Amino acid sequence: MVLLLSISVLLLLILTVRLSAFTALVITSLFAGLAAGMAPMDLVRSVQTGLGNTLGGLTLVLSLGIILGSMLSETGAIRVISSRLLGILGQKNAGTALMLTGFVVGLALFYNAGFVVLAPLVFSVAAQTRLPIAPLAISMAAPLSVTHGFLPPHPGATAVANALGADPGKTLLWGLAAGIPVLAVTALVMPRLLRNMKANPPASFTQAAEITDAGLAIPGFAKSMLIALLPVLLMAVSSAAVFLMDTGNPALEWIRFAGDPGNSLLAAVLCGLIFLGSNRFQNSSDRLSTSQIFEKSGVALGAASSLLLVTAAGGAFKQVLTDSGAGNTVAELFSGVNAPPLLLGWAIATTLRIAIGSATIAGMTAAGIALPVMQSTGTSPELMTLAIGAGSLMCSHLNDTGFWMFREWFGLSLKDTFRSWTLMETLVGTLGIVTVLILDTLI
């Protein structure tokens, strides 16, 4: 009841009162805590914890990701990457190019990190092909969600697999079998329904360097791709090292350090300054200097401040719902339900996802609840991992930071964010459990 009332209040404040998303989320967080009976000072601490934890996990990744994205855009590197992909696949298949790129990036990076790296590519492809932004954005975001829920070595899927005692290799194999059909629908078919959706992203996010090939010696494809995917490579090496190296190996700690999302993005930024900051205009001895790159990146960072605040406020709302016991209450509803184990794991994760907002928390909590059922029924831990992963992606809405990131970055209305982002996430979760149940009958 508290969850339903809170969501109603949030919708009222945004749609009727016309408050900013940040202010509305903070007010709703306070309302949810008081309505649930939290002590006033406990509520204050909960809001502060949610804000702090969200900012602590996102500030470095978002900031460096925006700098890297701006750097790739201003130096022409993104144009090189997108042009080569479009040249191979054709402009009519721009969504496919973004899907493949998102799939590779999503294997190693958390959603937030992958999003900030790939979002500038969406704007670049949209500018080149004159295709609408919303469908391209979904083609980019869908593989990030699929890899999060289904595929190790992505940290989200790996965490649930470890909690259930699932074999990572088998989970990856079955995850590919379940995830590829889901990806085909959500990244290639669904975007066709969004062609008339209007997006109005912040101008500073879409400002690309207005440079012709004749005016700037733009970097080569290999160099551009290497810098763009360096965070992915570092994260992939880090993930592989965890499985291949002994935990007592001193080198493992340094590899994991280099593979941290923030550190890997920092490494990419530094490499970009070295290798992309030396492009010379053919009619001038000047070059795009380090200071010029950071000056242009500062514009995008300023625009991103509102995005960061809204995301942090969404984290506060999630924290209040968690601390008030909303997640535990929902979990207890399923404690005595008699249902097929895989469907039960999916339903628990789905309900927690709707109540709490965080896919990671929903997945891990559902794993703890479903583990005894899985063990007593002999259910495959690998398939249970996939079922819970699918449920943890369902019905993303106002209490999910990913919802607000997608809305603010691409400038969509609240209604259109539900029609695009929420629908995509729900399709991933629904089709995911269907393919998992089919796999259960075949293996």
Q: In sequence order, what DSSP letters do the residues of 414-443 get, joined into one string? A: HHHHIIIIIHHHHHHHHHHHHHHHHHHHH-
- Alpha-carbon distance 186 to 191, whole Å? 7
- Alpha-carbon distance 309 to 289, whole Å? 31
- Alpha-carbon distance 15 to 51, whole Å? 23
pLDDT at 319: 80
Q: pLDDT of the chain along its 443 residues, tens only?
A: 676 788 788 778 877 887 877 888 889 889 989 988 899 999 999 999 988 877 776 677 777 777 777 777 677 776 677 678 778 888 889 999 899 888 877 765 667 767 877 888 888 888 878 899 999 999 999 999 998 889 876 767 877 888 888 887 788 888 989 999 999 999 999 999 999 998 888 776 665 434 344 444 567 788 888 887 787 788 778 877 877 888 788 898 898 898 887 788 889 888 888 887 654 443 334 445 566 666 666 665 665 676 677 777 877 877 887 788 765 665 566 556 677 889 988 998 898 888 777 787 788 778 877 887 888 788 899 999 999 999 999 999 888 888 988 998 899 999 999 999 999 999 999 999 999 999 999 87
- Alpha-carbon distance 271 to 277, whole Å? 9
- Alpha-carbon distance 269 to 227, whole Å? 8
Residues 189-215 as b/e (b if ≥16 CB within 10 A, e otherwise) read ebbeebeebebebbebbbbbbebeeee
pLDDT at 209: 35
- CA 122 from chain centre, in angstroms, equals 14
User: If phi over 0 gives left and psi between -120 and 50 gives alpha, with beta otherwise, what is residue 130?
Assistant: left
pLDDT at 403: 92
pLDDT at 399: 82
pLDDT at 45: 93
277, two tokens: 């900051």
118 with 137: CB under 8 angstroms? no
Q: What angle do CA 157, 441, 390 make, to 5 degrees?
A: 25
Reduced to 3 states (helix: H, G, I; strand: E, B; else coil), residue 281 is strand
- Alpha-carbon distance 15 to 415, whole Å? 10
What radius of gyration do the chain's Cα atoms show? 22
- Provide the residue count of the chain: 443
pLDDT at 214: 41
- Alpha-carbon distance 41 to 278, whole Å? 54
**pTM of structure:** 0.68
User: Which residue is associated with the tokens 């721009």?
Assistant: 94
372, two tokens: 């005894």
- Alpha-carbon distance 405 to 177, whole Å? 29
User: If phi over 0 gives left and psi between -120 and 50 gives alpha, with beta otherwise, what is residue 165?
Assistant: left
